[in-house]
């Protein structure tokens, strides 16, 4: 009797389950997914970078292309390859096509300012990535460059004002002086210099994001200031030149080289080779994910007019030295695709 009852119960449960499964397949709907897909599918996003030859750009586009392919919006890169005139043409072209979102990486604070305003007036939502213009648009996602300057200079202040430091002399190897990142990093550096009178800035020259120029400046400065304590820079791929000059002079234990970068594995290898000491890693893939969130927000709110809200989000910054130059602090582009 008991067996019969159990069997009947099991049969009942099984049939209920069988009946429920197809019904659920019809009903299960992740909340908001359909609306999301509808909002983003077929939309158009155009990216005007500085140059796709840089590691940070490759990381960003790898992430955005993944999002675009998965959710069916189009993503195009109009690469001006460091030519600002070509960049303005690319922007004008993009404005004419009226994409849903325009992503821009500015060469400096002025060059694209007017074009960005035009695009905004034409009703295009604009996301500025990592390099800002004086025209503020819907969103900026990227580094807090003043904080970056403070972090790097602060690192040198700790090292060069510690007892036993060779001197308080430091060098600032800028990139291009009109670039937003440079202007703001210099401000951060100035703040730290004001807070630490013992620090002495002995050289302030731009290396134009070029390792050979960085090497030349460093080598000359090392001759003038053999007791140099630290060098801060703006891009790991340029400061390897400073590192080469320091290595050639045999002063790798004396001079601390601090810079920042997208977090590519090449930076970790430079740390291993002893060319760099500390890299403040702004993790370009994570920046790209944050930007992707911002893009999806734009696409899901088409009724908000362009320029109606202006948001800023500063991405993560991780301090990387030889103790943690591994794993996710050293991405390879193929891992992001």
| Binds another protein (CB under 8 A): choice among 247, 252, 300, 317 | 247
Most distant CA atoms of the chain, gap in Å: 101
Q: What is the footprint of another protein within residues 177-196 (CB under 8 A)?
A: 177
Total number of residues shown for the chain: 337
Report the alpha-carbon distance of residue 264 to residue 266 in Å, rounded.
5
Q: What's the Cα-to-Cα distance from 167 to each of 54, 163, 192, 297, rounded to whole Å?
A: 35, 10, 16, 50
Q: Smallest gap, in angstroms, from Cβ of residue 171 to another protein?
A: 10
318 is a site residue for another protein (CB under 8 A): no
Helix, strand counts (H, E) of the chain:
12, 12
| Binds another protein (CB under 8 A): choice among 136, 204, 313, 314 | 204
| Binds another protein (CB under 8 A): choice among 237, 259, 283, 329 | 237
76 is a site residue for another protein (CB under 8 A): no
Q: Smallest gap, in angstroms, from Cβ of residue 21 to another protein?
A: 48
Q: Which residues of 149-175 are buried (b: 16+ CB within 10 A; e: fewer)?
A: bbbbbbbbbebbeeeebbbbbbbbbbb
Q: What's the Cα-to-Cα distance from 234 to each of 34, 168, 250, 273, rounded to whole Å?
A: 43, 20, 23, 19
Report the alpha-carbon distance of residue 104 to residue 49 in Å, rounded.
6
State residue 262 phi and psi, 5-degree precision.
-75, -10
Q: What is the footprint of another protein within residues 210-229 (CB under 8 A)?
A: 210-212, 214-217, 219-221, 223-224
State residue 324 phi and psi, 5-degree precision.
-130, 25
Tell me the per-residue interface mask from 12 to 51 with another protein, x by CB under 8 A, - otherwise.
---------------------------------------x
Using the structure block, give the residue that is written with the tokens 């009947």: 8
326 is a site residue for another protein (CB under 8 A): no
Tell me the per-residue interface mask from 272 to 301 with another protein, x by CB under 8 A, - otherwise.
-x-x--------------------------
Number of residues that bind another protein (CB under 8 A): 41
Nearer to another protein, 273 or 304 (CB): 273
Angle of CA points 278, 197, 228, to nearest 5° = 45
- Number of other residues whose CB lies within 10 A of the CB of residue 207: 24
200 is a site residue for another protein (CB under 8 A): no
Q: Smallest gap, in angstroms, from Cβ of residue 207 to another protein?
A: 9
Q: Mark out the alpha helices in 28-134 (DSSP H runs).
A: 33-40, 55-71, 84-97, 113-121
Nearer to another protein, 12 or 248 (CB): 248
Tell me the per-residue interface mask from 99 to 128 with another protein, x by CB under 8 A, - otherwise.
------------------------------
DSSP assignments along 122-169, one per residue: TT-EEEEESS--SS--SEEEE--HHHHHHHHHHHHHHHHTSTT-S-SE
Q: Smallest gap, in angstroms, from Cβ of residue 26 to another protein?
A: 46
Q: What is the footprint of another protein within residues 140-179 (CB under 8 A)?
A: 177
Q: Smallest gap, in angstroms, from Cβ of residue 283 to another protein?
A: 18
Q: Smallest gap, in angstroms, from Cβ of residue 253 to another protein?
A: 16
In the complex, the residues that contact another protein under the rule CB under 8 A are 51-55, 58, 81-83, 177, 202-206, 208-212, 214-217, 219-221, 223-224, 237, 240-241, 244, 247-248, 266, 269-270, 273, 275, 333
């Amino acid at each position: 009797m008991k067996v019969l009852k159990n069997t009947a119960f099991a049969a009942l449960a099984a049939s209920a389950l069988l009946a429920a499964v197809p019904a659920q397949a019809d009903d299960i709907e992740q909340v908001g997914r359909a609306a999301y897909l509808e909002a983003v599918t077929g939309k158009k996003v155009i990216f005007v970078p500085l140059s796709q030859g840089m590691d940070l750009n490759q990381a960003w586009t790898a992430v955005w292309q993944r999002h675009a392919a998965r959710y069916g919006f189009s993503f195009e890169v109009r690469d001006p390859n460091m030519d600002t005139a070509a960049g303005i043409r690319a922007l004008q072209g993009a404005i004419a096509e009226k994409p849903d979102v325009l992503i821009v990486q500015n060469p400096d604070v002025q060059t694209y300012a007017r074009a960005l305003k035009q695009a905004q007036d034409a009703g295009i939502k604009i996301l500025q990535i990592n390099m800002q213009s004086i025209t503020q648009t819907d969103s900026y996602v990227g580094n807090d460059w003043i904080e970056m300057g403070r972090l790097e200079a602060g690192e040198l202040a700790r090292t060069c004002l510690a007892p036993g430091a060779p001197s308080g002399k430091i060098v600032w190897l800028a990139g291009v002086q009109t670039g937003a990142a440079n202007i703001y990093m210099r401000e951060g550096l100035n703040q730290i210099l004001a807070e630490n009178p013992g620090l002495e800035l002995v050289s302030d020259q731009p290396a134009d994001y070029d390792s050979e120029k960085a090497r030349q400046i460093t080598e000359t400065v090392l001759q003038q200031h053999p007791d140099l304590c630290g060098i801060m820079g703006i891009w790991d791929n340029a400061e390897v030149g400073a590192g080469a000059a320091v290595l050639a002079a045999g002063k790798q234990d004396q001079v601390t080289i601090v810079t920042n970068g997208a977090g590519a594995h090449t930076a970790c290898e430079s740390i291993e080779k002893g060319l760099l000491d500390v890299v403040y890693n702004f993790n370009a893939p994570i920046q790209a994910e944050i930007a992707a969130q911002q893009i999806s927000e734009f696409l899901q709110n088409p009724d908000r007019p362009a320029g109606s809200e202006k948001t800023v989000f500063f991405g993560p910054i991780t301090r990387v030295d030889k103790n943690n130059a591994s794993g996710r602090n050293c991405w390879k582009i193929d891992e992001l695709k």
